Structure 1
């Protein structure tokens, strides 16, 4: 019996292309973050808390794409650096809300222009409508992938 072998060109596969583009951008931005004393995942936590303050760890895990155990260690480090604070939730005494400290907010605001610069370079030959469409498509891919999680 003859086995049917399907061709698969990895370099045209969407998951590979997304991962490769993300890795290139992430690696470059990680190097730019070194003088600030932050890793890429720590930056993402700060950026997420800057955009949406007072998140629970579970909410932050969704917004920063980190698993809870890794995120807990990241938040511990950021708290040790004085960048993040934990506060008990007013409605649920067991829940902890996370927010940037004044120092964390200042550092995040200092880095935001750098993050925007790196994004602008990566998107430099895209039109505004292409950038908008790309964002919409990436959000759709993420939503479509929910059953795979």
Structure 2
């Protein structure tokens, strides 16, 4: 039996990189009075508006109870608005308000700086391959959700 080399373990490396980026970016978000989870909600709704809470939970990788509290806070602060879902008029969906869009657009360039820093030393092709591989790893893990 071989020893498990933690420094080569993909889950460890992914978690470590994600945690480091998240902690650093969270410090930057304080100036905007946003948490990392609130930022993820805003940027997910910027990418695709009119999302139901269940869809937003998938896009932000946030559990429903946490997401519900985060969304309530953003609604109270005027960052989000509830409206009718495009797909189902009976369902409620979430979108950014104009103030929420403005806030998100102010933060996106900062997020892009963090991405550039994290990808320093990689070629454009390597960075794109990394994105593809990370999406594949994420998709592969879906089979574990069904076990």
- TM-score (structure 1 length as normaliser): 0.93
1:43 to 39, 44, 52: 39
The runs of at least 4 aligned residues of structure 1 exceeding 6 Å deviation read: none
Rg comparison, structure with higher value: 1
Q: Which residue in the other structure is 1:109 paired with?
A: 105
Over residues 38-97 of structure 1, what are the superposed CA-to-partner deviations in whole Å (9 max), with x where a residue is unaligned?
000100000000010000011111111111111111100111111000113366454111
Which residues in structure 2 correspond to 1:1-149 (within 5 Å)? 6-89=2-85, 92-149=88-145
Residue 62 of structure 2: SS of its match in structure 1?
coil
Over residues 92-144 of structure 1, what are the superposed CA-to-partner deviations in whole Å (9 max), with x where a residue is unaligned?
45411100000000000000000000110111111000000000000000000
Give structure 1 stretches of 5+ with no counterpart.
Answer: none
- Paired residues, what number? 145
RMSD: 1.3
CA distance 1:22–1:91, shift in 2 (3 Å): closer
- TM-score (structure 2 length as normaliser): 0.94
Give structure 2 stretches of 5+ with no counterpart.
Answer: none
Q: Distance between the aligned counterparts of 1:94 and 1:70, measured in 2? A: 24
Q: Distance between the aligned counterparts of 2:125 and 2:47, measured in 1? A: 24
